[in-house]
Amino acid sequence: MRKTFEFQMTFGQTPIDQIKIDMRARDEIPKLLLGLQHIYCHKELRQKVFEIFKKMILENVDSKNGQPGMELWKILVMGTIRLNCNWDYDKLQDIVNNHRTIRQMLGHGLMDNDKTYPLQTLKDNVKLLTPEILDQINTLVVEEGHKLLVKKRPDVYGTM
């Protein structure tokens, strides 16, 4: 059975809400990571996102048989980055195995440098983030963005 994410932190692991993301960078990765960090830090939104995952990915899975799959959080992070950056699986493999901030977002600590993702593992798991799942998650994220705008500038955007 797949876990949503690993609750038990490892030695040297940075909590996701404390990951420092370089907002001066003009690349798309920091902006994606900031959005993912927002999803992770807001429990209600995070629960809604993972309910979509569980409903669509886990419907034909027997939770009592087989080995545990990749955590849903890791699939979300890797799938979002792959699709938004338009990368193939080889590029994704290189980045998730070597990019420090992305590895922190995946839940790796200082002692996890030897933990890498084989290409076939990425292909088997990241493909589970289907366009249907992404559309539903996108709807939730847009709604959350609208709520943030209303809180920030109620004089311009009114109330919802």
The reported pLDDT for the residue numbered 150 is 74
The reported pLDDT for the residue numbered 65 is 57
Sign of CA pseudo-dihedral 36, 40, 44, 46? positive
Question: In angstroms, what is the C-alpha Rg of the chain?
Answer: 16
Q: Where are the domains of the chain?
A: 16-157
The reported pLDDT for the residue numbered 1 is 53
Residues 120 and 135: their CA atoms lie apart, in Å, by: 25
The reported pLDDT for the residue numbered 30 is 95
Give CA angle at 58 (56, 46), nearest 5°: 65
Tens place of pLDDT per residue across the chain (160 aa): 567 777 777 778 899 999 999 989 999 999 999 999 999 999 999 999 999 988 777 665 555 555 567 899 999 999 999 999 999 999 999 999 999 999 999 999 888 888 999 999 999 999 988 888 989 999 999 999 888 877 766 665 555 5
The reported pLDDT for the residue numbered 69 is 77
Sign of CA pseudo-dihedral 92, 93, 95, 99? positive
The reported pLDDT for the residue numbered 45 is 95
Structural contact between residues 90 and 40, judged by C-beta atoms closer than 8 angstroms? no
Structural contact between residues 58 and 66, judged by C-beta atoms closer than 8 angstroms? no
The reported pLDDT for the residue numbered 55 is 79
Residues 96 and 104: their CA atoms lie apart, in Å, by: 10
The reported pLDDT for the residue numbered 123 is 95
40-47 CB contacts, 8 Å cutoff, 24+ apart: 40/16, 40/73, 41/16, 41/17, 42/144, 45/140, 45/141, 45/144
